[in-house]
Amino acid sequence: MKIGIVCYPTYGGSGVLATELGLGLAKKGHEVHFITYRRPARLGHFHENVFYHEVTNEDYPLFEYPPYDTALASKLVDVIRYEKLDILHVHYAIPHAAVAYMAKKILLQEGKYIPVVTTLHGTDITLVGANETFSPVVAFSINKSDGVTAVSESLKQQTLDSFEITKDIRVIYNFIDFTRFRKSDKDHFKKAIAPDGERILTHVSNFRKVKRVEDVIQVFKRVNEVIPSKLLLIGDGPERHNAEMLCRKLELCAEIRFLGKQDAIEELLAVSDLFVMPSENESFGLAALEAMACEVPVISTKVGGLPEVNLHGKTGYLSEVGDVEDMGRNAIEIIKSEESLQKFRKNAIEQAKRFDLDKILPEYESYYEEILRTAVHPDKRPVDSPY
């Protein structure tokens, strides 16, 4: 099968999932074409059956902002036409699903019908989609897709509650590649971070307000007062400066490391004792799942899809947004003894196995085949497809 994948090429969850999905499909023999403005963050080197098509924008004096949507639509038409793609999978409703609809209409004039699958990831529904400026386009794009998936039951329900949706939404969870994310014994690495055997707490995000990075530091403060600890803050973004200022104010900078963006985050998770995710909203919580695959328990909020991933009292604990006191107590409860920590570690890896790439990938393949069988032209005739 020839599959086109459109995503944001960033460190965020949607870009990560789209890239890992494409790589997994390529390993199974499918031909995968990534179409975006920059090489995806996790597409760092050559992969068999994987192709990358860069979308470039021309800068004209007439345009205050380069028209990326138009450039992307033109690129999609070109790639679909000449690479003879069977199906297009777009991640994030805005603008990708809307642009895919435009490309589909252009190709229809040539007698080519390209089925489009749209995957909803969260902020395209909860933030961008909630904006009245964009909501009509979001609803239209979802309803005009041939297939729609959401990464959690919570996100599916939010979508149905927020928009007038006529399409069935299939829940296909995010996944984890256990060939990459797993516990490893790197005592020398861990000793470099925590030379006196301190516990290591970790947070990974794009440092936006919704991630509440300052809450991570407040939780760490409460833990460190009881149990000697180190905090690794991985990622970068607009809230980093505020987090650094809080770190200095609390005089914790000797115990906290701002590591910026990291490609091999699995190596840092593998030596961590606890993962902290105090987000205001999470459609799924992919970073938490990656931590759990490395046998790291999770302290998180009880929002969005997080309760579907992090099981309260088993793989970690759930708290209300902003309740750093409760998160601090829960964190201490987990790491207060080696016996307690090992119990939570074991539960974390067992829960993570439910989201193994080898289990989720066939769900996407089956869904593609279903859409190729059932997608219809405007004249209601089934699309001709060998799949």
pLDDT in tens, 2-36: 999 998 887 566 778 888 999 999 999 999 999 99
Mean per-residue pLDDT for 120-124? Answer: 78
Q: What is the mean pLDDT of residues 62-84?
A: 85
User: Could you read off the pLDDT of 285-312 as tens digits, one per residue?
Assistant: 999 999 999 999 999 999 999 999 999 9
Looking at residue 40, what is its pLDDT?
A: 81
pLDDT of residue 188: 75
- pLDDT surpassing 50 at residue 387: no
Please state the φ and ψ torsions of residue 69, each to the nearest 5 degrees.
Answer: -55, -45
Question: What torsion do the CA atoms of 17, 23, 25, 29 make, to the nearest 10 degrees?
Answer: 180
Q: Which CATH number fits domain 187-355: 3.40.50.2000, 3.40.50.1980, 3.30.450.40, 1.10.287.110?
A: 3.40.50.2000
Residues in CB range of 119: below 8 A, 6 or more apart = 14, 17, 18, 89, 90, 91, 92, 148, 149, 150, 151, 172
Among 340, 357, 336, 358, which Cα is nearest to 348's? Answer: 340
Q: For the purposes of burial, counting CB atoms within 10 Å of the CB of 110, is it exposed (0-12), middle (13-18) or buried (19 or more)?
A: exposed
- Which range (45-49, 102-106, 255-259, 324-328) has the least confidence? 45-49
Distance in angstroms between the alpha carbons of the first and the last residue of the chain: 8
DSSP one-letter code for 384: P
Give the pLDDT band of residue 386 (cuts 50, 70, 90): very low
pLDDT score, position 275: 98
Give the pLDDT confidence score for residue 248 in this predicted structure.
96
pLDDT for the residue numbered 263? 78
Q: Using the predicted structure, report yes or no on whether residue 354 has a pLDDT greater than 50.
A: yes
As beta bridge partners, residue 287 has: none
**Between residues 69 and 340, the one the model is more confident about:** 340
278, pLDDT greater than 90: yes
Q: In the numeric block, which tokens belong to residue 65?
A: 């902002």
**pLDDT attached to residue 43:** 77
What are the residue boundaries of the structural domains of the chain, listed by start? 2-175+357-374, 187-355
The pLDDT of residue 64: 62
Beta-carbon contacts of residue 280 (< 8 Å; ≥ 6 apart): 209, 210, 211, 212, 301, 303, 321
Q: Are 85 and 117 in contact (CB under 8 A)?
A: no
pLDDT digits (tens, 9 = 90+) for 219-248: 999 999 999 999 999 999 999 999 999 999
Q: What is the pLDDT of residue 122?
A: 78
Query: For residue 380, what pLDDT band results from cuts at 50, 70 and 90?
Result: low
Tell me the pLDDT tens digit for each residue of 165-223: 999 999 999 999 888 888 877 677 888 899 999 999 999 999 999 999 999 999 999 99
Model confidence pLDDT, tens digit, residues 137-158:
889 999 999 999 999 999 999 9
The C-alpha angle with vertex 91 and arms to 31 and 232, in degrees rounded to 5, equals: 105
Q: Closest by alpha carbon to 103, among 240, 6, 175, 226?
A: 6
Residues 324, 106: Cα–Cα separation, whole Å? 52
- Contact criterion met (CB below 8 Å) for 223 and 200: no
DSSP code string of 119-153: EE-SHHHHTTTTSTTTHHHHHHHHHHSSEEEESSH
Average pLDDT, the chain: 89
Q: Is the pLDDT of residue 334 over 90?
A: yes
What is 2-175+357-374's CATH number?
3.40.50.2000
Task: Tell me if 2-175+357-374 shares its fold with 187-355.
Answer: yes
Residue 325 has pLDDT above 80, yes or no: yes
| pLDDT level of residue 60 (50, 70, 90 thresholds) | low
In this predicted structure, what is the pLDDT of residue 376?
Answer: 65
DSSP string of 315-367, one letter each residue: TEEEE-TT-HHHHHHHHHHHHSSHHHHHHHHHHHHHHHGGGBHHHHHHHHHHH
Q: What is the CA radius of gyration of the chain?
A: 22
CA 82 – CA 333 distance, rounded (Å): 58
